[in-house]
Structure 1
Amino acid sequence: MTKTTSPLGQPVSRVEGRLKVTGQAKYAAEFNVPGLTYGVVVSSTVARGRIQKLDASEALALPGVLHVFTHENRPSLAWFDRNYQDEDAPSGSPFRPLHDDKLVYSGQPIALVVAETFELASYAASLVRVEYAPRAHETDLRARRKEAYEPSKGKGGYEPPPKPRGNADKALASAAARVDAEYSSPVEHHNPMEPHATTVVYEDDGTLTLYDKTQGVQNTQKYISKVFKLSEDEARVRSPFVGGAFGSGLRPQYQLFLAVMAARELKRSVRVSLTRQQMFTFGHRPETLQRVALGASSDGKLVSIIHEAIAETSRFEDYIEVVVNWSGLLYQCDNVRLDHKLVQLDNYTPVDMRAPGAVLGVYALESAMDELAHQLRIDPLELRLRNYTERDQNKDKPFSSKELRACYQQGAEQFGWARRSLAPRSMREGKQLVGWGMATGIWEAMQQPASAKAVLSIDGTLTVSSATSDIGTGTYTVMTQIAADTLGLPIDAVTFKLGDSSLPPSPLQGGSWTVSSVGSAVKAACEKVREHLFKLARKVDGSPLAKASLEEVSFSGGRIHLSADPSKAVSLTAAMRQGGVLHLEEQVLSLPNMPEQNKFTRCTHSAVFAEVKVDEDLGVVKVSRVVCAVAGGRILNPKTARSQILGGIVGGIGMALQEETVMDPKLGRFMTHNLADYHVPVNADVHDIQVLFVDEEDSVVNPLGAKGLGEIGIVGVAAAIANAIFHATGKRVRGLPITLDKLL
């Protein structure tokens, strides 16, 4: 009998792919119901101050305009008097739309116009007249850097920098070679294809069905339930498809609150969609100023690392990312001092954006490492190998697995790194200067508690479910593979359901932990079904499995067979008939094995190699080649895994060369608030990208042995490109993005 190939580890195409390419996949603003009304948000044009007068009479005079909600007429809710926070909220007091006349950032929602059609609501919104009493605002991080303060320890999921080890300042002063430089990164916005939107379907009995753009339907449900005092049965949240998020959908955004408020007050179904311009008014990657100082011996051994970061936050929440901690664990060094401070500005609170903290901190560290290598006249890869560490010195723990050395070796070999000349401006093609740069990448390998349900039917089909999301990462597909593999079923016999608050609990989809967390729950639920099936199979008349143990059998091809003799088998349907059951159902809560996991530091690693070609006369930069070698544990689907890394690399190209949200400090407003002005890589900017997955076994991170891949693809890319540009031109640019004006 032919052995059935396990679906795990196979490049299975997306199971929802046909729905997406044929337009059958429906997103938050595409669920239509009879009598649907439309809400359009009026945004403030002042960054700080108060609303002196708001006149909606012209808008209300239009036939078909149902209501204009403002701080003066909004319903009274206990939420306005309490700090109800969502699951991803940092410490502080969350922003509350239409709370009062106070203005805390430019673009703040100050009114919601609801009308029978979207066009009418949009026109009516333009007729709302507002008079402001502005106050002096401050949106310039550099201007306020002296007011930086240390955030409260341990709040909002923040992991503060470890205590200093050794004496980094003294070691730096006496080092044979020193680099001491400031690196900066600008505000960036996520710009997913699908803007934020919420469609609230108001049922006859007053219950609500919400279709929301979110990375966590149950987080959305909890938020709405607390704010409006609703039970879970009164507000069901669905999000079957998400058109990209990159972190922008982790927290409930204001259109959700406004849509639910309007639906409950009007007793009508309401949709509120945000414009692309409004997407630029809230939630962004924070601007940072970072000092990195490295000291080394003459042979390149690090003797001192100092990494200090200053980042922005709002005046009402302390948003903090883990920016500097990576510098204490990536390389061997006995003298390390790390520091992270915040500055309050009159902006909305920053939010997580792909690889929050790491992509910023690693950029600065890896740029400084390249500067140190140049100063010492040591190959940049060799410098990293000389300082390689097998232990996390921040926590004095070993790594659960670390194949970074193999990433360096395989990535360098694939790239041809050995042919790199040491001196800048020494490689060229005609009028183009050629540069080769590299950097290390790192991200946490985390597991969260998660639940899943598995239901096997008598016809041999399996339905597995969890409330998790799929923001484009391939969750539908990989969960289907895990379930199919566990019960030995073909892919097309398995259906995975997600994005519904009524399904088994799951964490937010972020942090690269979905496969680790939800995947482990799916595996555990299917294993419970396996156990039940095997008991039934042993009782089948004349069963060849009667005296076997579960460890002695395998599940494949819809059968349970002896591993030593596949011809001796019982089909799954026969086992169920024997037991007289039409379906088997199991729901499992999967918890991380913290006693074991806490003995180790668990990380995904990568090595990024980049080639750039820079026009000598014009300064135009082309990233002509990127090779990224990743050690991500067990790769469950190389096709979707590669897509994750490709997407991260493209994001890293944008970070290095293009992405920057420009603030006008006089107006306190982001001026690059559309896709024409805010540049992201397009096809013409993306050339040869090669992704390598290094073999890595890890029995600690989770039962699957898989590490997350959503974030690691972007970490280190900007630094590798910046280092390549220096190698090509001899000019070191320490502020992102690296644009023509900085090179010429």
Structure 2
Amino acid sequence: MTQAPTRPTQRILGEPLDRVDGHVKTTGAAQFSGEYPYPHLAHAVLVHATVARARIVRIDTAGASALPGVLAVVTHHNAPRMRPPPKPTPLNLPTLAAGTSVNYLNTDEVHWNGQPVAVVVAETLDAAREAARLVDVSYEELPSVVDFGQEVPNAVPQKTDLLSEGGGKKGDAVAALAAADVAVDLRFSTPMHHHNALEPHTTTASWDGDTLTVHDGTQNIDWTRRHLAQRFTLPLDNVRVVAAFVGGAFGGKANVWAGTVIAVVAAKATGRPVRLALSREAVYRTVGGRTPSTQRVALGADLDGQLTALIHTSVTQTGRVGGLPEQVVSQSRHLYDAANIFVQQHQLTLDSVSNAVMRAPGESIGSFALEAAMDELACRLGLDPVELRMRNEPDRDPLGGRLFGRRGLREAYARGAERFRWADRSPEPRSMRDGRWLVGMGVASAYHPAWELPASVTMRVSADGDVLVRCGFHEMGMGSATAFAQVTAHALRVPVDSVRIEYGDSALPAGPGAGGSAQTASVSRAILDAVARLRKDLASLARRNDMSPGESPAAILGRAGRAHLQVAVGADRGIGRLAGQVRFMTRFVRERRKYMKAACGAQFCEVRVDGDTGEVRVTRWLGVFDIGTVVNAKTAASQLRGGIVMGIGAALGEETLVDRDTGRIVNANLAEYHVPVHADVPRIDIECLGDPDPTMPLGVLGAGEVGIVGVAGAITNAVHHATGRRVRELPITLDKLL
């Protein structure tokens, strides 16, 4: 995909420029993965297992195969053979691509209720759907473990590895809690959540001999390409993955799930281009969601409100066929200056689809428990919740003593309290009313670590003044192409409308995955490195032609008689890629030991609760954030608002319900899984401090994840202020307030 900004601006970095992809999206010209035309395109529909753990003993496909328009019914009996997914290792990051370890349609084993056991391919989508209903599967059921709540006592401590820290401690938090002047010891729980992107997972796959082209709404083009090359035993150059536009993801499209692989299988089996568009229900059945959790937060403090003990433990699940632990206690390592700290995560393994990353994995649900406990401690101390947090604001990372790259939390709270009129809050619960409505105000801290990943780019400047940047990064709705045009124009000191960006295609230099709020910082570093090389080459060219290096790139190239000058940063494969990964991991480990880098913020909210019915309405919101350098004020604010809206959903409505006997998701649709609608969302005011973090590329910390952190905690705290009830189990439904 190629996009160029449409208007120049004198001040480039931070300006709220309109999105460069706005026109093509609003006019319907943007092509998503399910919109690429192919001659003789066939359509595929999955058949899902209806048991949690089993062996398939019979698949009757006769009725489905006889239906007019059906091209093939592919099962483990006739599917093309694939290599199984590689064993995941942090030493080779693309091995983390697989959503599960299952070798789809190459095995008679069933590992969760919903696993695809067959795929029907037909001339039309209607024929494929009807045929899929006619496939009859018989199973030999095996013992399964599917009830998270029942299994919680069997959880085991999570181990620490290169990707996540299972636990940590400082001092003796248990003894300090027992000796504290004031203490709280609370239990919390959160349900499973599922991503509900506007665009369900869709893959269009086409083979041309042993060359494969895949259009897929992926968050990680490079990993998807490498995964498919490995599974189908293809040279990497024979696989092309295109993801020009992605209609939302939130982590659900970070891995390669069953639909993508099986679309390629179906295309290979039929010799036709195949489109496999998951129904909303099929997304729930085959794509992992956020793990449920149980948590304990215990806090001890002296009478002045200084924390003497902080204990945060959690239990979450992974699937027997994969999934990564969720960093539920992450923020509790870093937010508050307690003298004694103990944090530990515990894991369960169930017969379920692997859990998946979901916006601010871990911190989103972990902050709910920590921030509600801090609010409860403030109540018991008779201390303002903002003041309690400020009295425990650390100067260094509390667990480990690392320096903060940047931390503007004090300023965020000060600005937020002033703008939100926090001083007008009457501290006593149930003391503020507006007619029949009980009014409450709540606050919570937001926190998310800042990450960076390797990225490759090429940059070419032409004698006519145009600049072309090529990188296979992702546009999932956050305005990446706009932001990187601004970064390039700022660094190269050229008009922003002279910069053109190509992205969203594995034929381009490999970009990082879009996750962990890492893409902006990662690609910005590569752009800055490319600009530095380009300037060096331009300066050399200028000197050879008796010009000042300060002249514009176009003037230098014109004098030198050159049509263009191009540089490349990073490497996509071979020794160069390996060396780049080694350099990245070395820098990552070195800086991780010295600095704690994170975006942070203060979430302020007002709720109104109907005193008779328990109905909760969020009526005001202000988020003040320290996300480092703001590249584009409009897109950054949009990202933060989006996170807050998701947090409102987690607090008040979202809950994936799983049958405790069968492991089947029973509300796999948007009629019964309740996401926020316009009527649920108030005006959301956003302020960003805008100061750069000197330890990050361009000073960027990231905006995509931190917006959701603390939201459920702030709402819970506001509901407590309004009603006097402390809800410790999400979502906050009517029955918990009546």
Q: TM-score over 0.5 for the alignment?
A: yes
Quote the offset at 1:527 in angstroms: 2.9
CA 1:92–1:161 in structure 2 vs 1: closer, same or farther (change >3 Å)? farther
CA 1:4–1:373 in structure 2 vs 1: closer, same or farther (change >3 Å)? closer
- Partner residue, 2:342: 337
Paired residue for 2:513, among 508, 514, 517? Answer: 508
- Residue 560 of structure 2 corresponds to residue 582 of structure 1: no
Quote the offset at 1:136 in angstroms: 4.1
- Partner residue, 1:573: 554
Instruction: Describe the SS at the equivalent of 2:312.
Output: strand
Q: Deviations over 1:384-403 (max 9, x none)?
A: 11111011122211101111
- The amino acid across from 1:271 in the alignment is R
CA 1:297–1:223 in structure 2 vs 1: closer, same or farther (change >3 Å)? same
- The amino acid across from 1:169 in the alignment is V
Quote the offset at 1:597 in angstroms: 6.0
- Partner residue, 1:219: 223
CA 1:84–1:730 in structure 2 vs 1: closer, same or farther (change >3 Å)? closer
The number of residues matched between the two structures is 713
Instruction: Describe the SS at the equivalent of 2:596.
Output: coil
Distance, in Å, in 2 between the alignment partners of 1:101 and 1:377 is: 61
Q: Deviations over 1:337-368 (max 9, x none)?
A: 11111111221110000000111111111110
Q: Deviations over 1:54-109 (max 9, x none)?
A: 100111122332211111222233337x6478737399971221232221111110
- Partner residue, 2:211: 207
CA 1:428–1:677 in structure 2 vs 1: closer, same or farther (change >3 Å)? same
Distance, in Å, in 1 between the alignment partners of 2:158 and 2:178 is: 29
Q: Deviations over 1:275-331 (max 9, x none)?
A: 100111231000000011111111111111111100011122252011113212211
- Partner residue, 1:239: 243
RMSD of aligned alpha carbons: 1.9
- Partner residue, 1:556: none
Quote the offset at 1:655 in angstroms: 0.8
Q: Is the 8 A contact 1:536 1:578 kept in 2?
A: no
After superposing the two structures, state which structure 1 stretch, 323-332 or 621-630, moved more.
323-332
CA 1:655–1:35 in structure 2 vs 1: closer, same or farther (change >3 Å)? same
- The amino acid across from 2:129 in the alignment is S
Quote the offset at 1:596 in angstroms: 5.1
Q: Is the 8 A contact 2:100 2:353 kept in 1?
A: no
Q: Is the 8 A contact 1:90 1:320 kept in 2?
A: no
- Partner residue, 2:253: 249
Instruction: Describe the SS at the equivalent of 2:118.
Output: strand
- Residue 392 of structure 2 corresponds to residue 387 of structure 1: yes
CA 1:596–1:41 in structure 2 vs 1: closer, same or farther (change >3 Å)? closer
Distance, in Å, in 2 between the alignment partners of 1:711 and 1:121 is: 38
Paired residue for 1:35, among 26, 40, 48? Answer: 40
Instruction: Describe the SS at the equivalent of 1:653.
Output: helix
- Residue 167 of structure 2 corresponds to residue 186 of structure 1: no
After superposing the two structures, state which structure 1 stretch, 270-279 or 450-459, moved more.
450-459
- Residue 141 of structure 2 corresponds to residue 160 of structure 1: no
Distance, in Å, in 2 between the alignment partners of 1:233 and 1:318 is: 29
Instruction: Describe the SS at the equivalent of 1:576.
Output: helix
Equivalent positions of 1:544-559 (< 5 A) are: 545=548, 553=550
Paired residue for 2:324, among 319, 326, 346? Answer: 319
Distance, in Å, in 1 between the alignment partners of 2:99 and 2:609 is: 46
- Partner residue, 2:351: 346
Q: Is the 8 A contact 1:311 1:341 kept in 2?
A: yes
Distance, in Å, in 2 between the alignment partners of 1:509 and 1:577 is: 38
- Partner residue, 1:138: 145
CA 1:143–1:374 in structure 2 vs 1: closer, same or farther (change >3 Å)? same
- Partner residue, 1:696: 691
- Partner residue, 1:276: 280
- Partner residue, 2:3: none
- Residue 415 of structure 2 corresponds to residue 410 of structure 1: yes
Instruction: Describe the SS at the equivalent of 1:198.
Output: strand
Distance, in Å, in 1 between the alignment partners of 2:100 and 2:259 is: 18
Distance, in Å, in 1 between the alignment partners of 2:320 and 2:87 is: 15
> Could you tell me the TM-score, scaled by structure 2's length?
0.94
Quote the offset at 1:261 in angstroms: 1.6
Paired residue for 1:151, among 130, 135, 158? Answer: 158
Instruction: Describe the SS at the equivalent of 1:272.
Output: strand
Paired residue for 1:643, among 638, 647, 669? Answer: 638
Q: Is the 8 A contact 2:386 2:443 kept in 1?
A: yes
Q: Deviations over 1:21-48 (max 9, x none)?
A: 0111111111111111111111111122
Distance, in Å, in 2 between the alignment partners of 1:151 and 1:397 is: 23
Instruction: Describe the SS at the equivalent of 2:128.
Output: helix
Q: Deviations over 1:688-725 (max 9, x none)?
A: 211111142321122x0111110010000110000000
- Partner residue, 1:494: 499
Distance, in Å, in 1 between the alignment partners of 2:97 and 2:66 is: 42
Paired residue for 1:681, among 673, 676, 681? Answer: 676
Paired residue for 1:100, among 100, 104, 107? Answer: 107
Q: Is the 8 A contact 1:90 1:318 kept in 2?
A: no
- The amino acid across from 1:46 in the alignment is V
Distance, in Å, in 1 between the alignment partners of 2:629 and 2:526 is: 17
- The amino acid across from 1:710 in the alignment is G
Distance, in Å, in 1 between the alignment partners of 2:118 and 2:154 is: 34
- Partner residue, 1:566: none
Instruction: Describe the SS at the equivalent of 1:47.
Output: coil
Q: Is the 8 A contact 1:158 1:322 kept in 2?
A: yes
- Partner residue, 1:565: none
Query: % of aligned pairs identical?
Result: 42
Q: Is the 8 A contact 2:159 2:167 kept in 1?
A: no
- Partner residue, 1:79: 84
CA 1:645–1:364 in structure 2 vs 1: closer, same or farther (change >3 Å)? same
Quote the offset at 1:526 in angstroms: 2.6
Distance, in Å, in 2 between the alignment partners of 1:4 and 1:349 is: 46
Q: Deviations over 1:431-478 (max 9, x none)?
A: 100000100111111222211111122322111011111111111110
CA 1:265–1:644 in structure 2 vs 1: closer, same or farther (change >3 Å)? same
- The amino acid across from 2:654 in the alignment is E
Q: Deviations over 1:484-536 (max 9, x none)?
A: 22223322221111111121122211010111101111222133223323333
Instruction: Describe the SS at the equivalent of 1:87.
Output: helix
- The amino acid across from 1:104 in the alignment is H
Quote the offset at 1:4 in angstroms: 7.0
Q: Is the 8 A contact 2:375 2:717 kept in 1?
A: yes
After superposing the two structures, state which structure 1 stretch, 312-321 or 422-431, moved more.
312-321
Q: Is the 8 A contact 2:290 2:357 kept in 1?
A: yes
Q: Is the 8 A contact 2:99 2:354 kept in 1?
A: no
- The amino acid across from 1:255 in the alignment is G
Quote the offset at 1:262 in angstroms: 2.0
- The amino acid across from 1:393 in the alignment is P
- Partner residue, 1:721: 715
Distance, in Å, in 2 between the alignment partners of 1:520 and 1:326 is: 26
- Partner residue, 2:734: 740
Q: Is the 8 A contact 2:159 2:165 kept in 1?
A: no
Q: Deviations over 1:530-586 (max 9, x none)?
A: 332333344556x4x2xxxx5xx4xxxxxx3xxxxxxxxxx4333212222211111
Distance, in Å, in 1 between the alignment partners of 2:269 and 2:283 is: 26
- The amino acid across from 2:141 in the alignment is P
- The amino acid across from 2:404 in the alignment is F
Instruction: Describe the SS at the equivalent of 2:63.
Output: helix
- The amino acid across from 1:683 in the alignment is H
Segments of 5+ residues of structure 1 without an aligned counterpart are 554-559, 561-570
Distance, in Å, in 1 between the alignment partners of 2:710 and 2:9 is: 39
- The amino acid across from 2:539 in the alignment is F
- The amino acid across from 1:573 in the alignment is A
Segments of 5+ residues of structure 2 without an aligned counterpart are 1-7, 571-579
Paired residue for 2:489, among 484, 488, 493? Answer: 484
After superposing the two structures, state which structure 1 stretch, 681-690 or 726-735, moved more.
681-690
Distance, in Å, in 2 between the alignment partners of 1:311 and 1:127 is: 37
CA 1:416–1:501 in structure 2 vs 1: closer, same or farther (change >3 Å)? same
- The amino acid across from 1:583 in the alignment is H
Distance, in Å, in 2 between the alignment partners of 1:35 and 1:701 is: 49
Distance, in Å, in 1 between the alignment partners of 2:563 and 2:689 is: 44
